[in-house]
Amino acid sequence: MAWSRKSAMFASLALAMYLLGLTLRNQQLVSVAVVIFVFLTYAALFSGHADVAASGKRANEWEGEEGIAFSNIVAMRKLSSARLFEDGEVKITLRVQNKSALSKIVEVRDRVPEVMRIKEGANYIIMELGPRRETFIEYTIETPLRGFYTIGPVSIRMQDTFGMFHKEKEVQVYDDFLVFPKMEDLKDTFVKSKVPKIFTGAVNIRQPGPGSEFYSLREYFQGDEFRSINWKAYARSGKLMINERERDAVSDIILIVDSRAVAETGPVSRNALVYSTRAAASLAKYFLSRRDSVGLVVYGDEIISVDRDTGKKQLYVLLTKLAGAMAKGEVPLQVVVNRILPHINKGSPIIVLSNLESDPTIVNALRDMRARNFDVTVLSPSSLEFEFDARRLDSIGYEVLKTERDVLISELRSLGVFICDWEPDMLLSTALAGARGF
């Protein structure tokens, strides 16, 4: 049984009055003290602060009316979805049962992660739960940020009607769910591999060959397919012209996401890491839909990598890794490059998502990549802009840092790296097009 501040105040007041009454020989004060003591005793004894023996179970573990326990309150929870995207909604159903033969006034609070917003209903309920009755509490939360989250425990509190004493138990029932970064729909990323793989696929490699995309027109040679003749061009020029198509191939795309501590500079919902993970998710979805192999490297305090693969399953593997990316550590890009380059096919496109801050190895790392003929694209969400937008950076500081950043970007561009200084209001596809010089 826990005391509230109110009961502590009443008890202190009663004690003080009792002692003062004896000191001043004032019977009235002693009488008031006695009445307060009685009041407290009544609240403690008779106001139904029952034993809150409680147990938690998941809904699927529930097996019916077995083991009716004394004064038992059971809580179970069900989530509408265990995996969803940012700005999605989860409907939570909490089932609370009173297995006791007496009705109880209980306060139930289901603990929700702090970043979540409650959209409908409430996770804090005060109710009178009748004997052997159950109730369903439904509420909906919004998930504004990616990550792994846990809902629970359920706090159940019973207190007397005067709010003097309470008993509280935490029902250890937890439910996990995963929030993926939201994705932008990309039309064309302008990222094309120069090196074909053995099996043809849907990726254009800027070489004429069997494929679906138009590449150029050329004169007809003996042996060309008759159906490739461009009759309109023939009509114009009087020569038989052939439609050449761009060669398709499956290519390996490597996404490198910077999740060092510095990547989280800026407001919680608008920082380089948030933008990088969203961009990586969008790019992964786009490339996988083209039947490319996509691999992922997330580096922060350690290097987490997902091997290249194709298909929908790979998308969820990548999304899961991106959802769990935490801004920690300061592993330099050079370490990542040294570790992964030997395992990547030469010429494969590599997309680096980093704010390019606090890493002295960036220039060397990207130079190494270019030296091995990798097609390197850097999308750099600018932490400066996030900080500046949030008015945490004054204009002089901003201009100085911006100049330094521009110098770095120019240096990287001179290495042959496609780079875009990605500002907060810019669409991903625009940033990507800007990086590729279109």
Partner 1 sequence: MVTSNNQPQIPNQNNSTSHLYDGKTVRAAAPSRKKAAGSLKSSTEIPKDAIPDVQIPSFVESLLGGPIVPKIKFLPPDKIVKNLQLFSYGILMILTFLTFLTTPSSGTVWQSIIGTGVITDSIHLIILTSAGLAGLYSIKVRDPRWMLASYLLFIFFGLRFASSQVTLAWGSGDGDVFDLDKNTWMEMFLVVLYAVSLVMYLELTNSVIRFSMLDTSIKTNEVYVMNVKNIVKKYYKSIIINPIVAGILATLVLSINTIIPYFIGWFSSETALRLENSVELISVYGVAIGSLVVFGIVGLLFAINLPLRIQKYREKEKVKELKS
11 binds partner 1 per the rule CB under 8 A: no
Shortest reach from residue 115's CB to partner 1, in Å = 12
Tokens of 178: 């995963």
Find, among 438, 400, 404, the residue nearest to 418 by Cα: 438
| DSSP 8-class letter at 70 | T
Which one of 222-230, 293-301, 407-415, 420-428 is the stretch in contact with partner 1 (CB under 8 A)?
420-428
Positions 314 through 333 that interact with partner 1 (CB under 8 A): 316, 319
Which one of 20-28, 203-211, 232-240, 249-257 is the stretch in contact with partner 1 (CB under 8 A)?
20-28
Among 209, 347, 416, 424, binds partner 1 (CB under 8 A): 424
Strand segments (E) across 236-288: 241-249, 252-258
403 binds partner 1 per the rule CB under 8 A: no
Contacts of 87 (CB under 8 A, 6+ apart): 142, 143, 144, 182
Among 76, 112, 137, 262, binds partner 1 (CB under 8 A): 137
Shortest reach from residue 356's CB to partner 1, in Å = 17
Which one of 193-201, 205-213, 339-347, 426-434 is the stretch in contact with partner 1 (CB under 8 A)?
426-434
Positions 263 through 292 that interact with partner 1 (CB under 8 A): 267, 269-270, 278
426 binds partner 1 per the rule CB under 8 A: yes
Q: Between 272-289 and 312-323, two packed helices, what is the crossing angle to 10 degrees? A: 170
Among 65, 235, 391, 438, binds partner 1 (CB under 8 A): 391
Q: Distance between terminal CA atoms of the chain?
A: 70
Among 59, 105, 195, 233, binds partner 1 (CB under 8 A): 105
Binding mask 287-316 for partner 1 (x = CB under 8 A): -----------------------------x
Residues belonging to the chain:
438
53 binds partner 1 per the rule CB under 8 A: no
225 binds partner 1 per the rule CB under 8 A: no
29 binds partner 1 per the rule CB under 8 A: yes
Long-range contacts of 410-416 (CB under 8 A, 24+ apart): 411/363, 412/356, 412/362, 412/363, 412/366, 412/378, 415/363, 415/366, 415/367, 415/370, 416/370, 416/376
Shortest reach from residue 207's CB to partner 1, in Å = 31
Among 385, 409, 418, 432, binds partner 1 (CB under 8 A): 385
Answer for the pair 376, 414: CB distance below 8 angstroms, yes or no.
no
Among 121, 209, 329, 416, binds partner 1 (CB under 8 A): 121
Contacts of 245 (CB under 8 A, 6+ apart): 208, 209, 210, 211, 212, 213, 214, 215
Answer for the pair 382, 266: CB distance below 8 angstroms, yes or no.
no
**Measured between alpha carbons, how far is 331 from 260 in angstroms, rounded to an integer?**
7
Shortest reach from residue 188's CB to partner 1, in Å = 13
58 binds partner 1 per the rule CB under 8 A: no
Positions 65 through 104 that interact with partner 1 (CB under 8 A): 70-71, 80-85, 87-91, 100-102
Phi, psi (rounded to 5 degrees) for 400 = -65, -50
Nearer to partner 1, 127 or 341 (CB): 127
Which one of 115-123, 230-238, 343-351, 363-371 is the stretch in contact with partner 1 (CB under 8 A)?
115-123
Which one of 58-66, 114-122, 196-204, 257-265 is the stretch in contact with partner 1 (CB under 8 A)?
114-122
**Measured between alpha carbons, how far is 312 from 285 in angstroms, rounded to an integer?**
9
CA dihedral 128, 134, 140, 144 (to 10 degrees): 90
* Cα 97–chain centre separation: 33
359 binds partner 1 per the rule CB under 8 A: no
358 binds partner 1 per the rule CB under 8 A: no
Contacts of 152 (CB under 8 A, 6+ apart): 56, 77, 110, 111, 172, 173, 174, 175
- Residue with structure tokens 């265990």? 82
Which one of 8-16, 250-258, 299-307, 368-376 is the stretch in contact with partner 1 (CB under 8 A)?
8-16
3 binds partner 1 per the rule CB under 8 A: no
Positions 160 through 219 that interact with partner 1 (CB under 8 A): 160-164, 180, 182-185
Which one of 33-41, 245-253, 302-310, 365-373 is the stretch in contact with partner 1 (CB under 8 A)?
33-41
